Structure formats: structure tokens, C-alpha cells
Structure 1
Amino acid sequence: MEMRERKIIIMESVASESRKKRGRSSLVTPPPRSRGGIKRKILFLLFKQLKLVTLQLLNHLHSE
């Protein structure tokens, strides 16, 4: 589980680094190529993380 969190943090930092390299103008209008890809990946990872956490919580509540 810690690995997944680390992966997400690394992905976010990589995304922000590439944004810095491209300059400020790209923040207003991101290039169409990577417009939805990175966001979709991060959202998917976050959703997967949320699912895991809720499953663990349910199991924990069940075991009590």
C-alpha cells in the first residue's frame, strides 16, 4: 500500500516538474495531447486507493 502512495506522489511531482519546464503559458492552455491522460491516470489511481481503503475499513469493522 505504501508503494502505491509513493507512486502517486512521484507521478504528481513529475507532472508538476514537466509543467514548470514548459513554462507558464501551458498552465492556462495545456497541450491537447496530455490533456486528459495524466488526469485520468491520477483519478484512476486515487479511485483504486479509495476502494482499497474502504475494503480494509469494512473488513476491520467486520472483524470487531
Structure 2
Amino acid sequence: MITAAILFWFGSTFGASFVKGFALTLALGVGVSLMTAFTVTRTLLGLVVDLFKDPEQRPGLFGL
């Protein structure tokens, strides 16, 4: 995100519109990827924790 901000500033200062476009695309891609990673990880971790709440039911999965 910092790199995208620097590139956007560079594009604004020196009039390089293609650099501004790349910076915007980079920022959007990083933002969407970050939000997707948080959402998917939280969902999958919640499912795994609910599935394996009681280690006594499946001791092999917990190394017991």
C-alpha cells in the first residue's frame, strides 16, 4: 500500500498518468487480496475449531 501511494504521488507530480493507473490497480489488488485472505482464513479456522472441539473424540488428530 505504501508503494502504491508513492507511485500514485510520483504519477501526480511528474504527469505520468500510466503510473497513477498502475498505482491504483496495485492498491485495489492488494486491498482485495488482503480482505479475501482475512475472510477466508477466519471462516476456515472457525469451521476447523468447531469440527475439532473435543480432542477426546479424535485423539489421533491431536497427537494423544
| TM-score between the two structures when normalised by the length of structure 2 | 0.52
The structure with the largest helix share of the pair is 1
Q: CA deviation at 1:55?
A: 1.1
Per-residue deviation at 1:45?
A: 0.7
Extract unaligned runs of 5+ from structure 1. Answer: 1-7
How many pairs does the alignment contain? 49
CA gap 1:40/1:13 in 2 versus in 1, 3 angstroms: closer
User: Under a length normalisation based on structure 1, what TM-score does the superposition of the two structures give?
Assistant: 0.52
Tell me which of the two structures has the higher relative contact order, counting C-alpha pairs closer than 8 angstroms and 6 or more residues apart: 1
Gaps of 5+ in 2: 51-64
Larger radius of gyration: 2
- Identical aligned pairs, as a percentage? 8
Partner of 2:59: none
1:36: Cα distance to partner?
1.7
Distance 1:44 1:54, change over 3 A: same
Distance in structure 2 (CA, Å) of the matches to 1:17 and 1:34? 9
Indicate the residue corresponding to 1:4 in structure 2: none
* 1:54 aligned residue: 39
